[in-house]
Amino acid sequence: MKRHTVIDSPYGPLTLVAEDGVLCGLYMTEQRHRPPEESFGPRDAVLFGETESQLEAYFAGESKEFTLPLRLHGTPFQRTVWEALRQIPYGETRTYGELAEALGSPTASRAVGLANGRNPVGIIIPCHRVVGANGGLTGYGGGLERKRRLLDFESGRGVAALF
């Protein structure tokens, strides 16, 4: 059974969704590919204490990684891409082509981009750390302004101020 809560963050409200007590979604407002609200289940603020604690530590600059169990629903290729995203170190970026090459499919940068865009657990699975071949910002489900602010925050060029 799914349950959800909404928390405040420096990047706007975040909707956290869990299935059988395991985090399966983190969605920003106006996020592309955001499932309908009615699919999130009843509201339950108590269930998400550890997720909230780790997000607060991240936004405060006290933690650079997440150690939460996740339940990810996607194709095998999508799950492979999402796992590769988790390997990108805090404060660093990779291009879609570099990710495709790391996955052993150097011509699959477009497919990597599509899988990246379907990431159901933004921030925790850091899809914001993927940039275009020229290093420029490209699509981000939460919007390019959020992506720029997240990258600036992680690189030390910005703060996690309210969106």
Which one, of 82, 91, 83, lies nearest residue 63 by Cα? 91
Q: Which residues contact 88 (CB under 8 A, 6 or more apart)?
A: 94, 126, 129, 130
Residue located via tokens 């495709």 = 100
In angstroms, rounded to a whole number, what is the distance separating the alpha carbons of residues 146 and 137?
A: 11
Catalytic residue among 26, 123, 127, 150: 127
The pairing of beta strand 130-131 with beta strand 94-95: parallel
Residue located via tokens 């928390």 = 7
In angstroms, rounded to a whole number, what is the distance separating the alpha carbons of residues 70 and 73?
A: 10
What DSSP line would sit under 115-142, residue for residue?
A: HHHT-SBTTTS-GGGEE-TTS-----TT
- 24 noted as active-site residue: no
Residue located via tokens 């963050």 = 9
Residue located via tokens 């290093």 = 135
Provide the annotated active-site residues.
127
